[in-house]
Amino acid sequence: MGDPVAEHTSRLQRQEREIKLLQDEIERLRDPQQLNFTSSQLDVLREENSRLKYRLNILKTSLQEEMSQNGKTMLNINQRLQQIFGEAISTAYPDLENPPHAVTPNQQAKFGDYQCNSAMAMSQMMKAKGQKVSPREIAEKIVQNIPNNELIERTEIAGPGFINIHLKRMFVSKLLSNLLVNGAQPPPLEKKKKVIVDFSSPNIAKEMHVGHLRSTIIGDSMCRLFEFLGYEVLRLNHVGDWGTQFGMLIAHLQDKFPNYLSVSPPIGDLQSFYKESKKRFDEDEEFKKRAYQCVVKLQSKDPDFIKGWNLICDVSRNEFQKIYDCLEIRIEERGESYYQDMMTVVVKDFEEKGLVELDEGRKIVFAPGQSIPLTIVKSDGGYTYDTSDLAAIKNRLFDEKADIIIYVTDSGQAMHFQVVFAAAQLIGWYDPKVTRVEHAGFGVVLGEDKKKFKTRSGDTVRLMDLLEEGLKRSMDKLKEKERDKVLTPEELVKAQRAVAFGCIKYADLSHNRINDYVFSFDKMLDDRGNTAAYLLYAFTRISIDPSSPASGEVFWALIYPFWDIFMWVCAGNGGLIDSHIGGGKQLANTVEWPFQFSLMGCWLFVLLAVVTMMLCGNDLLLLSPEWMLGTSALLFSLFITFCMLFCLSRAVDLMSRASIARLANIQEAVLRKAAETTEVLLDHEKEWKLGKCILRFPEILQKITDDLLLHTLCDYLYELATTFTEFYDSCYCVEKDRQTGEVVKVNMWRMLLCEATAAVMAKGFDILGINPVQRM
105-148, pLDDT tens digit by residue?
A: 998 888 999 999 999 999 999 999 899 999 999 999 999 999 99
Candidate from 119-123, 466-470, 514-518, 743-747 with smallest mean pLDDT? 743-747
Residues 518, 557, single domain; the answer is no
pLDDT higher for 122 or 627? 122
pLDDT of residue 593: 39
Is the pLDDT at 66 greater than 70? The verdict is no
Mean pLDDT, residues 594-615 taken together: 52
Give yes or no: residues 562 and 633 share one domain.
yes
> Please, which pLDDT band fits residue 497 given cuts at 50, 70 and 90?
very high
pLDDT at 550: 44
At 64, the pLDDT band (50, 70, 90 cuts) reads very low
For residue range 302-330, list pLDDT tens digits in order.
Answer: 999 999 999 999 989 999 999 999 999 99
> Average pLDDT, stretch 728-740?
88
pLDDT score for 211: 84
Pairwise CA distance, residues 184 & 764, whole Å: 9
Other C-beta atoms closer than 10 Å to the C-beta of 351 total 14
Separation of alpha carbons 94 and 102, rounded Å: 17
- Residue 250's beta-bridge partner residues? none
CA distances from 152 to 493, 494, 694 (A): 49, 46, 18
Structural element, H or E, at residue 417: helix 414-426
What is the Cα–Cα distance from 530 to 735, expressed in whole angstroms? 30
- State whether 512 and 605 are in the same domain: no
Structural domains in the chain (count): 2
Judge whether 561 and 647 are in contact, CB under 8 Å: yes
Question: What's the angle, vertex CA 66, arms to CA 17 and CA 699, rounded to 5?
Answer: 90
Give the pLDDT mean for 405-430.
98
Residues 567 and 642 in one domain: yes
| Across 534-554, average pLDDT | 66
Q: Is 638 among the domain residues?
A: yes
| Residues 496, 578 share a domain | no
Round to whole Å and give the CA distance between 564 and 601.
Answer: 13
State the pLDDT confidence band at 352, using cuts at 50, 70 and 90. very high
What value does the mean pLDDT take over residues 35-56?
A: 63
Indicate whether 52 belongs to any domain.
Answer: no
Q: Is the pLDDT of residue 386 over 60?
A: yes
The answer, yes or no, to whether residue 554 has pLDDT greater than 60, is no
Is 467 among the domain residues? yes
**Claim to verify: residue 501 and residue 568 sit in the same structural domain:** no
Domain boundary among 629, 657, 685: 657
**Tally of CB atoms within 10 A around 372:** 12
Distance, in Å, from the CA atom of 198 to the CA atom of 183, rounded to the nearest integer, reads: 30
Measured CA distances, 729 to 598, 658, 687, 732, 733 (Å): 40, 16, 11, 8, 10
What does the mean pLDDT of the chain come to?
83
Given a cut of 60, whether residue 627 has pLDDT beyond it is no
Which domain, by its residues, includes 479?
463-526
Cα gap 715→764, rounded to integer Å: 11
Please give the Cα distance from 605 to 748 (Å, whole number).
51
Alpha-carbon 325 to chain mean position = 18
The yes-or-no verdict on residue 652 having pLDDT over 60 is no
Tell me the C-alpha distance between 629 and 499, whole Å: 52
Give pLDDT tens digits for 575-594: 333 333 333 333 333 333 34
Element (H, E) at 725: helix 711-730
Query: Is residue 110 in a domain?
Result: no
In this prediction, residues 380-388 reach a mean pLDDT of 92
Residue 681 in domain: no
Most confident of 474-488, 582-596, 615-629: 474-488
- The yes-or-no verdict on residue 409 having pLDDT over 80 is yes
Strand order in the sheet with 103-105: 103-105, 114-116, 162-167, 152-158
pLDDT of res. 26: 60
**Residue 67, pLDDT score:** 44
> How close are the terminal C-alpha atoms of the chain, in Å?
38
Write out pLDDT tens, residues 514-524: 999 899 888 98
CA–CA dist 238, 196 (Å, integer): 12
698 pLDDT above the threshold of 60: yes
Q: Does residue 625 lie in a domain region?
A: yes
Higher per-residue pLDDT: 623 or 474: 474
C-alpha distances in angstroms, 263 versus 324, 505, 605, 665?
A: 28, 40, 69, 63
Same domain, 608 and 650: yes
How does strand 194-198 pair with strand 232-237? Answer: parallel
Q: What mean pLDDT do residues 256-272 have? A: 81
User: Contact at 8 Å (CB) between 414 and 513?
Assistant: no
CA-to-CA distance for 21 and 104, rounded, in angstroms? 33
- Report the percent of the chain where pLDDT is more than 70: 74
Indicate whether 603 pLDDT > 90.
no
Is the pLDDT reported for residue 34 higher than 60? no
Strand order, beta sheet including 232-237:
332-333, 232-237, 194-198, 404-410, 436-442
> What's the angle, vertex CA 426, arms to CA 421 and CA 430, rounded to 5?
65
In a domain, residue 585? The reply is yes
**563 and 513 together in one domain:** no
Give the pLDDT mean for 343-357: 97
Q: Rounded to whole angstroms, how far apart are CA atoms 178 and 679?
A: 11
Q: Are residues 522 and 555 in the same domain?
A: no
Most confident of 38-42, 50-54, 180-184, 648-652: 180-184
Q: What pLDDT does 626 receive?
A: 60
Name which of 466-480, 573-587, 592-606, 697-711 the model is least confident about.
573-587
Please tell me the predicted confidence (pLDDT) of residue 262. 81
Q: Give the C-alpha separation, 236 to 708, whole Å.
A: 17
* 507 and 575 share one domain: no
Sign of the dihedral through C-alpha 587, 592, 593, 595 = positive
Helices then strands, each counted (H, E), the chain: 28, 16
Judge whether residue 471 has pLDDT over 70. Answer: yes
Q: What's the rounded mean pLDDT across residues 623-650?
A: 56
* Domain match, 581 and 637 both: yes
Residues 561 and 522 in one domain: no
Residue where one domain finishes, among candidates 510, 526, 542? 526
Mean pLDDT confidence for 216-222: 98
Categorize the per-residue pLDDT at 224 as very low, low, confident or very high, splitting at 50, 70 and 90: very high
Q: Please tell me the total number of residues recorded for the chain in this structure.
A: 776
The residues facing 406 across adjacent strands are 197, 438
Q: Report angle CA 682, 532, 230 to the nearest 5 degrees.
A: 70
Q: What angle do CA 205, 200, 296 make, to 5 degrees?
A: 40
CA atoms 448, 450, 452, 457: torsion sign? negative
Q: Are 376 and 384 in contact (CB under 8 A)?
A: yes
**pLDDT of 674-683, one tens digit each?**
999 999 999 9
What digits encode the pLDDT tens for the residues 437-447?
A: 999 999 999 98
Tell whether 249 is covered by a domain: no
Confidence band (pLDDT; 50, 70, 90) for 460? confident
The closest of 701, 709, 198, 707 to 406, measured between CA atoms, is 198
Nearest to 178 by CA among 679, 639, 720, 523: 679
Instruction: Report the amino acid identity of residue 114.
Output: Y
Give the end of a domain, one of 657, 685, 713: 657
Inform me whether the pLDDT recorded for 341 exceeds 70.
yes
